Structure 1
């Protein structure tokens, strides 16, 4: 009999082609590794998983929510131990609970929170590699914070996504958006850096990374706040900034 579990999974995405399973020849995926661990634990290939979102290659997650369906009844705490014993060290299940068949991590999500971490230092520090992006330019943080305010609300993000997955429409609502400053702290390994924090009802493919690229260009004075405002609509305009590198992006939590 198939049993359903809700997992919260953390992973460092550096080695992976993203969350979603790809053809075997393409390379490693996080979902592929989770499926293999579930198959080992349940002693069955009748394994199905569904994640709350498709993180791209190199992107990390602190709270990816996964529905796992396997032919095994097991205490959720023991399932966590068993899975972590069969997963690579850069993927960890941090919580499990019983679920029902009707739960869908994608459809039932109320909001998602992403963080993009970056420095503006001229020198890349060794311990930030793979974890914090570097954008070595002088930035006007006040203007960047004004840009964040413009993004809050319901907008058409046609100009801020990469085509690939079919979607019904490009309208999304942003509930919170801000830039935080993180000090170096006593540990001293990670440099002082910034966090672009955004919470919304959903995100298009590479939407957060394109928004970060546009906000960076505002911080450099390459585009104006008015240009950003004008781009929040269905009319295609010239891209306002680069796709920010994947290593700075984290799926932080999904709210239900």
Structure 2
């Protein structure tokens, strides 16, 4: 039995998120499509494990997944044939055999997400599926100051849409980088794990700071309150990318 690790790039606007939906749904998730294509290629039922579940509309530069197989087909043949059969919007960018114990979700040490904001007055029609159109002259320095309150180990309950199966709402944010190039702001957030909608709520809160509707130091109060109502809105999924997963 071999354990195969995949690095996957996808356009989230074309699919119903990552998580398997089942045959009763007319449209398919990325996990559904990968499992069907790999199973057909290898001639056995394949269950693929992703590093995390991205919502509908969320993109990935480098989602990591793994699956176990008894097939003797070579990695290069799997790589080439799979990329040929996958629909437009999903690409396998790397493939390797890893230790049998490797688990793409449980072994992940950190993830980096990146959010894109289009600040121009008139939206760019070619990027509107890949960046939130939110025209404004943002105070980038205030946003950077606010982001510092989020770095470190905190209880992020105020930045979660709902409680799920996570046993704790404590997470560690290792870094937040905010850059502006011409009319686009990019917010890169690296952490050891994220709660449901946590990145999108953090971005929504930083946007309020950038617009002067919230002060940077308000972030500390929001964290301490552990109350979702005190944080900013959950921004659209369109501008969110899973950028990197580290092991």
TM-score norm. by structure 1 comes to 0.91
- The 8 Å contact of residues 160 and 197 in structure 2, kept in 1 or not, is answered as yes
Displacement of 1:239: 3.6
Question: What RMSD, in angstroms, separates the aligned Cα atoms of the two structures?
Answer: 1.5
- The 8 Å contact of residues 206 and 243 in structure 1, kept in 2 or not, is answered as yes
Residue 217 (structure 1) aligned with residue 208 (structure 2): yes
For the residue of structure 1 that corresponds to 2:148, the secondary structure is helix
Alignment length (residue pairs):
246
Counterpart Cα distance in 2 of 1:124 and 1:93: 30
1:25 alignment partner in structure 2: 24
1:146 alignment partner in structure 2: 145
For the residue of structure 2 that corresponds to 1:88, the secondary structure is coil
Stretch moving more, 210-219 or 103-112: 103-112
Displacement of 1:164: 5.7
Counterpart Cα distance in 1 of 2:41 and 2:109: 31
Give the unaligned 5+ runs of structure 2.
none
- The 8 Å contact of residues 157 and 228 in structure 2, kept in 1 or not, is answered as no
Counterpart Cα distance in 2 of 1:18 and 1:63: 15
Counterpart Cα distance in 2 of 1:126 and 1:233: 40
1:54 alignment partner in structure 2: 53
Displacement of 1:16: 1.4
1:95 alignment partner in structure 2: 94
Displacement of 1:246: 0.6
Partner residue of 1:204 out of 195, 205, 209: 195
For the residue of structure 1 that corresponds to 2:159, the secondary structure is coil
2:217 alignment partner in structure 1: 226
1:69 alignment partner in structure 2: 68
Map 1:81-160 → 2, pairs under 5 A: 81-160=80-159
For the residue of structure 2 that corresponds to 1:232, the secondary structure is helix
Counterpart Cα distance in 1 of 2:147 and 2:163: 26
Q: Structure 1 residues 239 and 57 mapped into 2: Cα distance closer, same or farther (>3 Å)? A: farther
2:40 alignment partner in structure 1: 40
Counterpart Cα distance in 1 of 2:230 and 2:46: 41
Give the unaligned 5+ runs of structure 1.
184-191
Counterpart Cα distance in 2 of 1:234 and 1:109: 29
- The 8 Å contact of residues 21 and 31 in structure 1, kept in 2 or not, is answered as yes
Displacement of 1:75: 2.0
Provide, for residues 68-95 of structure 1, a one-character-per-residue CA deviation record: whole Å limited to 9, x for no partner.
2233122222211111121111001110
2:237 alignment partner in structure 1: 246
